[in-house]
Amino acid sequence: MDFSLSNEKIAIIKAALSADGYSVGENAAFFNKLNNCSVFTGFVDVHVHLREPGFIYKETVKTGTLAAAHGGYTEICSMPNLKPVPDSMDNLNIQLDAIKKDAVIGVHPYGSITKEQMGEALSDMEDMANFVAGFSDDGRGVQSDEMMKAAMIKAKELGKPIVAHCEINELLKGGYIHDGEYAAKNGHKGICSESEWGQIKRDIELVKKTGCKYHVCHISTKESVELIRKAKADGVDITCETAPHYLVFDDSMLMDDGRFKMNPPIRAKADRDALIEGIIDGTIDMIATDHAPHSAEEKAKGLKSSLMGVVGLETAFSVLYTELVKTGVISLEKLIEIMSINPRKRFGLPAGDNDFCVWDLSEKHNVNPDEFLSMGRSTPFDKREVTGKCLLTIKGGKIAYIDKSIVENL
């Protein structure tokens, strides 16, 4: 892969800047700034919570897509945990109208699998099929085998993927962090690994029967990795994602702070090692952030009482570049494959020449949530030193994000 900033890309950047009222010309400072930068096809995140409609005190389409552009993303898929739930065209249209009005990058919503995500009746899948990236009840596992089978049959008929949050409710038992050493030592209730991998195991068998295109959200356990690895070897049409925090942290690194609480939880070192191996050997197809903003108050109640979810759009690439590429675990080419190429292929998302991001891969900085464009501020990477800074994101030939250091040179 060639990551150099070509003359063609520079011409697109100059045209975009000119359209926004900036004068570039032969500005030496501008070209010096870009001279040693790298350019990547815009990143894709297939697991983002935009919170609009219904929870705009946490995030809006505008702030969420600005945050995504700040992180180098030009396409995202938005989850259906909204009010109203997008389980019909009437409800989906509310979200589509907000996207059309305020999104600065491409947003591809999911329709829910079941009505109100309650797992009791299928959503209006056929009506929504032409307007959604797939179907998900993210935040809840579909508990009924028969309901999931019916959803898979309908999704197969419609040519859309089932995007599954895998979680067996009866195994949760009030847990809120990984059922491991940290939980036992500090008196916290744990979530067992089987609550995740047990439902993946069930779904794999259902996919074998239905032939549905199937994608697993945010895997976190070593058993999940092995089940998916074997299913792929058996020819099952399955892909999966994990998130940056599962690749960097294990439960020995937890603090009693809401910024370390998410679902599924950060698990044991053996799980983290298995996830990294899954990235290396291709079992894990892509990285998604599960960007899930909450208010400061909702995340200020420690591990026990804070709401589940952290933000991640603005830190993902720099964290992964620092922790996986600079340490030699994977190549930069592999990172771009799992952040841009693979999700586009799986979900059929566009990749135009006018959709790209420009990064200074030499710049070190400490993660500072006060600089986020997202309304959410809760991240386990707070204050962590990372390398790599996004200077510019272009979507459709237009500026979606520009760093102040570029503007200062114009």
- Report the SS3 class of residue 152: helix
Buried b or exposed e, range 376-392, using 16+ CB within 10 angstroms: bbbbbbbebebbbbbbb
Please answer whether residues 358 and 351 qualify as being in contact, where contact means their C-beta atoms are separated by less than 8 angstroms: no
Dihedral in degrees, nearest 10, Cα atoms 35, 36, 42, 44 = -160
Q: Are strands 356-366 and 38-41 parallel, antiparallel or unpaired?
A: antiparallel
Dihedral in degrees, nearest 10, Cα atoms 326, 330, 333, 334 = -140
The backbone torsions φ and ψ at residue 400, rounded to the nearest 5 degrees and listed phi first, read -95, -30
- Report the SS3 class of residue 362: strand
Q: Rounded to an integer, what distance in angstroms lies between the CA atom of residue 12 and that of residue 5?
A: 11
Is residue 369 reached through a cis peptide bond, with omega within 30 degrees of 0 on the bond before it? Answer: no
Given 290, 353, 370, 403, which residue is catalytic? 290
- Report the SS3 class of residue 215: strand
Longest dimension (CA), the chain: 65
Please answer whether residues 242 and 284 qualify as being in contact, where contact means their C-beta atoms are separated by less than 8 angstroms: yes
How many other CB atoms are found less than 10 A from the CB of residue 144? 12
- 1 burial class (0-12, 13-18, 19+ CB within 10 angstroms)? exposed
Whole-number Cα distances in Å, 90 to 53, 86, 278 = 13, 8, 40
Please answer whether residues 80 and 111 qualify as being in contact, where contact means their C-beta atoms are separated by less than 8 angstroms: yes
The position carrying tokens 């209730």 is 189
Q: Does residue 290 carry a catalytic annotation?
A: yes
Number of continuous H segments (helices) and E segments (strands) in the chain: 16, 13
In the beta sheet, which residues pair with residue 48? 78, 291
Catalytically active residues are 290
